[in-house]
Amino acid sequence: MQEAWRLTASQAARAIAAGELTSEALVRACLARIEVREPQVGAWAWLDPALAIDEARQRDRQAREREHAHLGPLHGLPVGVKDVFDTHDMPTQQNSELRTRHQPARDAAAVALLRTAGAVILGKTETQEFGAGGRLARTRNPHDAARTPGGSSSGSAAAVSDAMVPLALGTQTGGSLIRPASYCGAYAMKPTWNAVSREGAMGSSISQDTVGWYGRSVEDLALMAGALGALREPAPQPDASLRVALCRTPMWQHADEFSRAAFEAAADHIGRAGGRLDNLELPSHFERLNELSRVIMAGEGRTAFLPDYRSARELLHEDFRSYVENRSGITSTQLCEALDFSAACRAEFDRIAAPYDAVVVPSAPGEAPLLPGKGDSVFQRMWTLLHAPCINLPLHRGPHGLPIGVTLVSGRHADARLLAAAARILS
Amino acid sequence: MQEAWRLTASQAARAIAAGELTSEALVRACLARIEVREPQVGAWAWLDPALAIDEARQRDRQAREREHAHLGPLHGLPVGVKDVFDTHDMPTQQNSELRTRHQPARDAAAVALLRTAGAVILGKTETQEFGAGGRLARTRNPHDAARTPGGSSSGSAAAVSDAMVPLALGTQTGGSLIRPASYCGAYAMKPTWNAVSREGAMGSSISQDTVGWYGRSVEDLALMAGALGALREPAPQPDASLRVALCRTPMWQHADEFSRAAFEAAADHIGRAGGRLDNLELPSHFERLNELSRVIMAGEGRTAFLPDYRSARELLHEDFRSYVENRSGITSTQLCEALDFSAACRAEFDRIAAPYDAVVVPSAPGEAPLLPGKGDSVFQRMWTLLHAPCINLPLHRGPHGLPIGVTLVSGRHADARLLAAAARILS
């Protein structure tokens, strides 16, 4: 247990439950790893080592009192929290000059659920401004400091993939969770929209904002899903063959040769694992969804950013002023049409995806681009708008040795089935 | 100006802008009125007279410094805030044992907008638990203490109709804003869903929760709509005739003879005012919407109340435990079908309502029932789910002398047109 920071969350949870590892030792190991790596990576917006160690000791006392029985699923596990979620004991700054040192009174809903499950909130991770645009996180890709970790959940993705912390919370409105997972090489899950409450996390587009998380294995993702209450329906009993659809999506031309190679390698892997593979072509009108996700972001962002705009517009990034001033000239009719069209596509995609345990799609156009590039959310927007659960599998590498993921997708609330499919693919 | 508490908000705003009335005098007048009436009505969950007077004096200083020019639209006006909205300077208790004396660090988005517009937050008004069910507000109907004011925005509706404060914020998820307006006799507006951000106000059903407000005239409702940035599209230039549809709705059998009489009287009034009247029958599948609003409330409430359930279920009312435990047995498929069906109906209702300046519908089954009855949201649920703006006009009285309203409805984002229609009907 000398290198406890190398453990997955699930391994660490088992060791803690068995009395073989203390929360304090794990937290100290993570803090030591952070001390070494943070100067290069810059994943943390707020870190209070003494507070985290104190919390860990409390968890250890609870474990001893209960003789290591009846512990929550995350008991003693350190979790990083994207700095858009309110925390009652650490500032929540949103990477915005409007929230410098802002100290909330209560935890966001997702943070409260983590604590009830026994987690130790290790610290707050760097984010793009309000998790939605504007000022970039200062975080660098842990595999290459010249490259972007992707945004906006930059710090959470980097911290988990760099083994600073086994689990972290993020959010996705466009591609803010899965894109950084692909660029940094983390397992990540964006569940069905509103499977987890976004209360107490800054919202930018109410119809798209989704709470998600990072882990170091599929098992870790399932652990977090349970702790956050995200699984509405049980996974069906697995039958003999895993049914998987390969979907190159209408955005395939945006995938470079290495992203395409990652996709084909995933297909080969699933085939060898005994999966039954179909090719799936989406109806052509799904091509509109990426653009509509931008229309909805602009239309709903106008509502979300109005209060800060009216009280202190000079402190708000141009991106958000643009929404409030409606510089793209989106009419209410266009907003409503975008909402209604995407609602109809949701039902349609649920039907299309229903026969499959998972649909495989690209996670990103390729490896993480060089800074100041921030990458492209082209492969996430559709799925966020469709409210479809997504899991990034960080299985592949590009020509610079950087990660390239593939995404598994399913219809709404098939989250448990999707997790089961991911586990079978990797077993 | 001896009885400043009798003024509408618009009258008071003009008097303040002209230097004929101070905010302090108005706030003191309201506080005096509250002192007389509060023992009977019980509208206020939190009131800090010294704080409100201090705020009012600041507004008066600002007005003098600016020589009464460039004042916000609500400059110096006292506003009541339903105790589900966070306020940085007053507790936000949600009528829940889980939030006793809870003091938020920031204002909710809607409260921040009010302050930027110059309002003085007079105090927090009583609400049903979490604005969503459970424990009733202790508020009584100001016209008859034996009767309900309706819920959940009980205190805001009672305070405005009883002239304790000219304006107040409320919310509606089922019928929480318009029903109390009908029972208490207040003007009220529920705008298009997400026209005003619900950030910092407890959410129970993300697809239905809507911020709304009360005033003492249609002009007051328009004043609040502007201050809150709710009007996305300008009202079209009025042509000669006002086009109004009379819609008895699929719930007509729930309206008693007095509610029906109020509806017919409103029709007569509009006819005499030169309005062109059509009868409108909704497509028969709209009959499902009231039931689907309950399915969505239960399905989304499961997400909203999970954190409090997991941390302190014994302090949470049975109504909310029922959602989290999914006692109604709603499947995810049923939830998604309800969301998709209602999304399709939204587009359909926008088309149906487009030719009209307003659609007239009943506000409530009749007068406010005797306590411990709380009344029925049967005439609001459909419109909340359709995201359609609604205005309650408190024009009629029932056999016990209690108010009975009628509601004007329009398609999404026709809020300004609807306000203009309401003003024409009453002119």
Q: Does A197 qualify as catalytic in the annotation?
A: no
Percent of chain B whose pLDDT exceeds 70: 100
First-last CA distance in chain B: 25
Rounded to the nearest 10 degrees, the angle between the axes of helix A332-353 and helix A289-304 is 130
For A157-200, the pLDDT digits (tens) are 999 999 999 999 999 999 999 999 999 999 999 999 999 999 99
Q: How far apart are CA B136 and CA B317, in angstroms?
A: 11
Q: Does A10 qualify as catalytic in the annotation?
A: no
pLDDT exceeds 70 at position B352: yes
For A127-166, the pLDDT digits (tens) are 999 999 999 999 999 999 999 999 999 999 999 999 999 9
Q: Which residue of A has its CA nearest to B338?
A: A347
Residues of A in contact with B323 (CB under 8 A): none
For A226-281, the pLDDT digits (tens) are 999 999 988 888 777 899 999 999 999 999 999 999 999 999 999 998 899 999 99
Q: How far apart are CA B216 and CA B195, in angstroms?
A: 21
Q: How far apart are CA B267 and CA B261, in angstroms?
A: 10
Q: How far apart are CA B369 and CA B389, in angstroms?
A: 26
State the best of B194, B198, B205, B415 to mutate against chain A, taking most chain A CBs within 10 Å.
B194
Which A positions 16-35 lie with beta carbon below 8 A of chain B?
none
B102 to A102: CB separation less than 8 angstroms, yes or no: no
| Residue of B10, B152, B156, B259 with catalytic role | B152
For B55-100, the pLDDT digits (tens) are 999 999 999 999 988 999 999 999 999 999 999 999 999 999 999 9
State the best of A113, A199, A292, A351 to mutate against chain B, taking most chain B CBs within 10 Å.
A199
Query: Poorest-confidence range of A272-281, A404-413, B385-394?
Result: A272-281
B306 to A113: CB separation less than 8 angstroms, yes or no: yes
Which B positions 95-134 lie with beta carbon below 8 A of chain A?
102-106, 109, 112-113, 115-116
Q: Does A82 qualify as catalytic in the annotation?
A: yes
- Which one-letter amino acid corresponds to residue A203? G
Q: Quote the tokens at residue B286.
A: 């709209």
Residues of A in contact with B132 (CB under 8 A): none
pLDDT exceeds 90 at position B273: no
Q: Dihedral through CA A326, CA A330, CA A333, CA A334, nearest 10?
A: -140
* Listed residue (B211, B381, B222, B301) closest to A304, CA to CA: B211
Q: What is the DSSP letter of A298?
A: H
For B301-351, the pLDDT digits (tens) are 999 999 999 999 999 999 999 999 999 999 999 999 999 999 999 999 999
* pTM for the model: 0.98
Longest dimension (CA), chain B: 62
pLDDT value of residue A2: 60
Q: How far is A64 from chain B (nearest CA, A)?
A: 21
Residue B325 contacts A, CB cutoff 8 Å = no
Q: Indicate the pLDDT class of residue B241, thresholds 50, 70 and 90.
A: confident
Q: How far is A41 from chain B (nearest CA, A)?
A: 31
Q: Quote the tokens at residue A377.
A: 């959310």
pLDDT value of residue B2: 60
Q: How far apart are CA A103 and CA A106, in angstroms?
A: 9
What are the structural domains of chain B?
Answer: 4-227 (3.90.1300.10), 243-287+335-426 (3.90.1300.10)
For A319-352, the pLDDT digits (tens) are 999 999 999 999 999 999 999 999 999 999 999 9
Q: Indicate the pLDDT class of residue B188, thresholds 50, 70 and 90.
A: very high
pLDDT exceeds 80 at position B240: no
pLDDT value of residue B148: 98
Q: Dihedral through CA B359, CA B362, CA B364, CA B366, nearest 10?
A: 160
Q: Which of B229, B311, B340 sits opposite A347 (nearest CB)?
A: B340
B233 to A105: CB separation less than 8 angstroms, yes or no: no
For A197-212, the pLDDT digits (tens) are 999 998 999 999 999 9
Q: How far apart are CA A166 and CA B327, in angstroms?
A: 35
Q: Helix (H, G, I), strand (E, B), or coil: what is residue B240?
A: coil
Q: Helix (H, G, I), strand (E, B), or coil: what is residue A124?
A: strand
Indicate the burial class of B283 (C-beta count within 10 angstroms; 0-12, 13-18, 19 or more): exposed
> Could you report the predicted ipTM of this complex, rounded to two decimals?
0.97
Residue B348 contacts A, CB cutoff 8 Å = no
B339 to A339: CB separation less than 8 angstroms, yes or no: no
Residue A294 contacts B, CB cutoff 8 Å = no
pLDDT value of residue A318: 96
Q: How far is A104 from chain B (nearest CA, A)?
A: 5
Q: Indicate the pLDDT class of residue B279, thresholds 50, 70 and 90.
A: very high
Residue B287 contacts A, CB cutoff 8 Å = no
Q: How far apart are CA A398 and CA A386, in angstroms?
A: 29
Q: Helix (H, G, I), strand (E, B), or coil: what is residue B200?
A: coil
Residues of A in contact with B350 (CB under 8 A): 336
pLDDT value of residue B237: 84
B197 to A331: CB separation less than 8 angstroms, yes or no: no
Residues of B in contact with A109 (CB under 8 A): 304, 306-307
Q: What is the mean pLDDT of the segment spanning B162-168? A: 98
Triad A259, A264, A267: Cα angle to 5°: 130
A413 to B113: CB separation less than 8 angstroms, yes or no: no
Considering only residues B247 and B2, tell me which one the structure prediction assigns the higher pLDDT: B247
Strands A187-190 and A210-215: antiparallel
Residues of B in contact with A96 (CB under 8 A): none
Q: How far is A190 from chain B (nearest CA, A)?
A: 16
Cα A375 versus chain centre, distance:
16
pLDDT value of residue A1: 53
pLDDT exceeds 70 at position B389: yes
